[in-house]
Amino acid sequence: MMTVLKKMRSLNKSMLFAIVLVLVSVAEGNVNSSEVSEMSVPMSRMSWLRSLLDHHDWGDFINNNTALPQQCAVDLRLYLESLNEGKLWASKMYDASGQYTANVLFGSEYWLGSLNACLDLQLKQYYAHTPPFPATFYIAKINLTLDTDHLPQSRVMLVGQCIPSSCGSGSLEALLAAAERTAASRASAAGLTASIQTVSIRPVPGRYDILSDPKLHILGSAVLLVSILMIAASIYEGYLERRCRLSSASRDLELAHHDDQKSHNNNVPEVDGKASHKDKDLRRETRGMWSEMLLSFSFLSNGRTILSTDRPSDGALTCLHGIRFLSVIWVIMVHTYLTVFFVADNKTMRVVTERYFLYQSVGNASYCVDSFFFISGLLVTVLFLRTEDKKKTNKNNKTPPTDKQDINKNINGYTNSALSVSVISQQSFCEDLIDKPRPKIYSMGEFFAMIKSLSVLFLYRVVRLTPAYAFVIGLNEVALRYTHYHSVFDSAVADHVTCDLYWWRNLLYINNLYSQQEMCMVWSWYMANDTQFYFIGILLLLISVKHPKSSWVLLGLIMVSSWVTTIYISVWHQYKARIQEPFEMFDPLYDKPWSRIGPYLVGMIIGWYLHKTKCQIRMPYWLVAAGWVCSLAIFGSLIFGMVDGYFEVWPTAFYVSMGHTGWGVALAWVTVACCCGYGGLVNSALSYRGLLPLSRLTYCAYLVHPTIMMYTVALLDGPLHMQNSMVLTIYAGYAVMAFLASFAISLAFEAPAVKLIKVISGGSNSKKRQ
């Protein structure tokens, strides 16, 4: 019996040993037959993410006969062998390539690695350990999918790859295709619904030579020509000013000698010193037309005009300076947030930021542009009416006009554009239209005279604004074309394409009538709207010369039709305004004149009212208090009224239609109160003399600041990590850069254009003054 038991135990041990050998053999066979042996063990989603695009897997791709050029395969093997051996140059190449980085589930779209690290690695004169072959940096756009809970929607990732230059984009595409198969196999083995798919590959920097770009040649030639004219004009003006000072000093000596003789003779009457006092303010004498045209480019007089803080003699409208400046820096703040959102590696932080109550000042910031429309309509009306009154006075006194003014004439450093600031004076419209007797209907001659006047005024405006505008368009196109080929990020806008194709729409001021995808300098929609409103405003004012009631009726009809059209379009699209998507209805509503003209018309009404009352209005204090309360309530409700972050369809329709006009009404009270002596500290702040130079620079600052933002951000080596404190710091820097660039552009293009028009139109007959 004992013998039988011993045999059974021996048999069991033998069977157990055999079973173990079989299992081990099977396991070894599975390991040897699989590219992803580790996948026999369950894998977490984050482990799968971390394993993506690992260069250590590339050895298997090469061994599995992935289609690669011979030299590329040789260089890759050398790189991978060196990487496994721990050679420094190979580790740096691996480190410069994009891999899994935190914040994928918090909105990151960037595994960029480092372009600069890849390029810097090849500088043999600075480093002892460099690759034995040149390296190239590529950006691959990859579509990443990971279940429906981790990434509810597929995420487009930008991945940087630093690889040997012998491996072109086709080789990298083959490597990434093999990586896709490996990732899919690992996901399947782990039971995950996850994959990656390569969308596109591009080298950085791309094949673009900015020095051979004809647009740069045109832009550079214009800058060189203007610079030569500015230097020559400044030297010439400096010479004329010095000669004027010497002449003035000589006259002062003669007057002093004359006064000394007069003191010894009591019978001699005193000499009127008004003329001499007036001459002391002269900087130079007036020259001929061609000389004055050259002197229009002098940065001495133009710089003094822009930077002057002297309070205007007519200071009633100085509060508009502050309103304009605050509106521009508000625009810059909003665009700073949008720029940082675009390159942030924690894009979900935008959702968190949008929950803050104060962020509504960014999401609902479209009203800052309405401030410009309001100011523009007000100034056009005031300047037109002052010109008409002056012509009536000259007619009644039967004296010829001593100074041909027009609605573009400066008031307190303003012109008829809410963003433009330079001084201009030329004939405004045909004098016969005002001076002749006015029958109830227009004759054919008067009708054509009015059309001619309208055309002349419109042409003056276009000529005045276009030089600086055209320069910024060219600068923007060249700068963004350069960044398109040198940036690790995708282009935020397609201005390198649209500006090349559609720049003429901008110069015709009709770009807002096309879709956003076809717009060059999307933010320039304001310029088109303001110019179109100017045309409508001038037409209404010319009609008001003979038919004031008709012009008022037309103004009311335009405003009501604007409201009705905007409501109809908003309801038709079932639009629900949301903080998260302020530009959702950009093409149908946001930039269209039929939804934006309301504050311009309100500005025209207030301009007429201030002119008729001469800013001499008496109001009881209860009315003043009620006015300020209502105005602040309108401001607050429009900016911070979206408490839940959105409106339903019909509230949205009234919000986007009446809201812009309501903003103009609130600004109307601020303007009337400040101009008529009821502004208090508000008027003191808005009329602060230190804001005058900044206010004069708002036009060019508005034009150029997005270009500065996109250029500087596009050349970053990697994404930003967004925090509100960091955004505000960047915003301060952008504001300073925008106004510095604006000063240079104003000196070179805006101010000379204004003065040239003044000279050509005969408005420079008077002597130049400080």
At 427 the pLDDT is 38
| Half-sphere exposure at residue 499, Cβ-oriented, CA atoms within 13 angstroms | 23
Mean pLDDT of all residues belonging to the chain: 83
- 8 Å CB contact between 330 and 735: no
How many whole angstroms separate alpha carbon 628 and alpha carbon 605?
Answer: 19
Choose among 697, 707, 706: nearest CA to 749.
Answer: 697
Residues near 691 by beta carbon (within 8 Å), at least 6 away in sequence: 321, 322, 325
Q: What is the pLDDT of residues 96-133, one digit of tens each?
A: 999 898 888 888 899 999 999 999 988 887 777 889 99
- 8 Å CB contact between 119 and 64: no
At 512 the pLDDT is 93
Residues near 219 by beta carbon (within 8 Å), at least 6 away in sequence: 471, 474, 475, 478
The verdict on whether omega for the bond into residue 599 sits within 30 degrees of 0, i.e. cis, is no
Answer yes or no: is pLDDT of 169 > 70: yes
Answer yes or no: is pLDDT of 311 > 70: yes
At 666 the pLDDT is 96
Answer yes or no: is pLDDT of 395 > 70: no
Based on DSSP, count helices (H) and strands (E) in the chain, helices before strands: 29, 4
At 42 the pLDDT is 66
At 411 the pLDDT is 46
Answer yes or no: is pLDDT of 11 > 60: no
Answer yes or no: is pLDDT of 37 > 80: no
Per-residue DSSP letter, 647 = -
Token digits for 412? 């307190």
Answer yes or no: is pLDDT of 273 > 90: no
Answer yes or no: is pLDDT of 252 > 80: no
Q: How confident is the model at residue 253 (pLDDT cuts 50, 70, 90)?
A: low
Q: What is the pLDDT of residues 614-642, one digit of tens each?
A: 888 888 999 999 999 999 999 999 998 88
DSSP annotation string for 593-643: HHHH-HHHHHHHHHHHHHHHHTT-----HHHHHHHHHHHHHHHHHHHH--T
Choose among 703, 712, 625, 640: nearest CA to 372.
Answer: 703
Averaged pLDDT, 39-54: 79
378-415 burial code (b ≥16 CB/10 A, e <16): bbbbbbbbbbbebbeeeeeeeeeeeebbbbbbbbbbbb
> Considering just the CA atoms, what is the radius of gyration of the chain in Å?
36
Measured at the alpha carbon of residue 57, what is the angle toward residues 52 and 59, in degrees to the nearest 5? 155
Q: What is the pLDDT of residues 643-661, one digit of tens each?
A: 777 788 998 999 999 999 9
Q: Which span out of 22-26, 325-329, 450-454 was modeled with the highest average pLDDT?
A: 325-329
Q: Tell whether the torsion through CA atoms of 90, 92, 94 and 96 is positive or negative.
A: negative
Token digits for 79? 């790189």
- 8 Å CB contact between 749 and 411: no
- 8 Å CB contact between 430 and 406: no
Answer yes or no: is pLDDT of 402 > 90: no
At 29 the pLDDT is 43
At 14 the pLDDT is 53
Helix (H, G, I), strand (E, B) or coil at 109: coil
Q: What is the pLDDT of residues 173-185, one digit of tens each?
A: 999 999 999 999 9
Q: How confident is the model at residue 555 (pLDDT cuts 50, 70, 90)?
A: very high
Least confident range from 243-247, 589-593, 748-752: namely 243-247
CA 554 to chain centre: 34
Q: How confident is the model at residue 479 (pLDDT cuts 50, 70, 90)?
A: very high
DSSP annotation string for 142-199: EEEEETTTT-SS-EEEEEEEEEETTS-HHHHHHHHHHHHHHHHHHHHHTT--EEEEEE
How many whole angstroms separate alpha carbon 428 and alpha carbon 384?
Answer: 8
At 419 the pLDDT is 64
Least confident range from 173-187, 236-250, 393-407: namely 393-407
Percent of the chain with pLDDT over 90: 54
CA distances from 482 to 270, 424, 604 (A): 71, 37, 43
How many whole angstroms separate alpha carbon 539 and alpha carbon 454?
Answer: 7
Averaged pLDDT, 39-57: 81
Answer yes or no: is pLDDT of 597 > 70: yes
Percent of the chain with pLDDT over 70: 81
CA distances from 523 to 594, 596, 634 (A): 17, 14, 26
Q: Residue 515 pairs with which residues in a beta bridge?
A: none
Averaged pLDDT, 505-530: 94
Relative to beta strand 110-111, strand 194-204 is: unpaired
Q: How confident is the model at residue 269 (pLDDT cuts 50, 70, 90)?
A: very low
Token digits for 578? 């949301």
198-228 burial code (b ≥16 CB/10 A, e <16): beebbebeeeeeeeebebbeebeebeeebee
Element (H, E) at 61: helix 58-63
The burial class, CB within 10 Å (0-12 / 13-18 / 19+), for 84 is: exposed
Averaged pLDDT, 354-362: 86
How many whole angstroms separate alpha carbon 473 and alpha carbon 507?
Answer: 9
Answer yes or no: is pLDDT of 277 > 60: no
At 462 the pLDDT is 86
The burial class, CB within 10 Å (0-12 / 13-18 / 19+), for 237 is: buried
Choose among 238, 195, 155: nearest CA to 48.
Answer: 195
Q: What is the pTM of this model?
A: 0.85
Place of tokens 């595409």: 173
Helix (H, G, I), strand (E, B) or coil at 141: strand
Q: Which span out of 143-157, 411-425, 439-453, 462-476 was modeled with the highest average pLDDT?
A: 462-476
Averaged pLDDT, 694-704: 95
Residues near 180 by beta carbon (within 8 Å), at least 6 away in sequence: 195, 196, 197, 198
Furthest C-alpha separation in the chain: 165
Q: How confident is the model at residue 378 (pLDDT cuts 50, 70, 90)?
A: very high
The burial class, CB within 10 Å (0-12 / 13-18 / 19+), for 546 is: middle
How many whole angstroms separate alpha carbon 407 and alpha carbon 429?
Answer: 9
Residue 42: how many other CB atoms lie within 10 Å: 10
How many whole angstroms separate alpha carbon 257 and alpha carbon 252?
Answer: 9
At 307 the pLDDT is 92
Q: How confident is the model at residue 76 (pLDDT cuts 50, 70, 90)?
A: very high
CA 246 to chain centre: 47
HEC string of 260-319 equals: HHHCCCCCCCCCCCHHHHHHCCECCCCCCHHHHHHHCCCHHHHHHHHHCCCCCCCCCCCH
Residue 132: φ, ψ to 5°: -80, 5
